[in-house]
Structure 1
Amino acid sequence: MKSPCNDICTIDRPSGLCVGCGRSLAEIGEWGSASSCRQREILSLLPYRMEQLATKSRR
């Protein structure tokens, strides 16, 4: 499965999430060895996280 990385690799310190893809450092680290099921699980979390990051940046 293709990584959600889009080369905007900056970690939001308060949340610990990448502002480019929404993954945590642990999720980024495990991506290459994660099962397809785990990768889909991570991907399912990203839309909500990205919305949270976007909302936070508008404040």
Structure 2
Amino acid sequence: MNSRPHERPVASPCVSICALDEQDICTGCQRTATEITQWGRLDNTARREILALCHERARAQGLLIGG
């Protein structure tokens, strides 16, 4: 694990809109079904990587404007 020893866990991006699209990506948080099921076992480094992917997916879907 690459997380710092006393670092708080990175919070889940879940927004309680849990529905998978045709690509098995949640329309609420933009995580894949696999990322959702693995989240609780991941260290903060892996969680941040997933959050970056979620951001990219949201931007590609036109869900984010700007930053």
State TM-score, norm by structure 1.
Answer: 0.81
Is 1:4 aligned to 2:33, yes or no?
A: no
Is 1:42 aligned to 2:50, yes or no?
A: yes
Q: Is the 8 A contact 1:19 1:50 kept in 2?
A: no
Task: Give percent identity, aligned residues only.
Answer: 37
Please state how far the C-alpha of 1:53 moved relative to its aligned partner: 3.1
Please state how far the C-alpha of 1:51 moved relative to its aligned partner: 2.4
Instruction: State the Cα deviation string for residues 1-56 of structure 1 (Å, max 9, x = none).
Output: 1100000000001x22000000001000000110111001100111111123347x
What amino acid is the match of 1:52? Answer: A
Find the counterpart in structure 2 of residue 52 from structure 1. 60
- Find runs of 4+ consecutive structure 1 residues off by over 6 angstroms: none
Give the number of the structure whose alpha-carbon radius of gyration is greater: 2
What amino acid is the match of 1:2? Answer: A
Extract unaligned runs of 5+ from structure 2: 1-9
* Aligned-CA RMSD value: 1.4
Extract unaligned runs of 5+ from structure 1: none
What is the number of residues matched between the two proteins?
A: 54
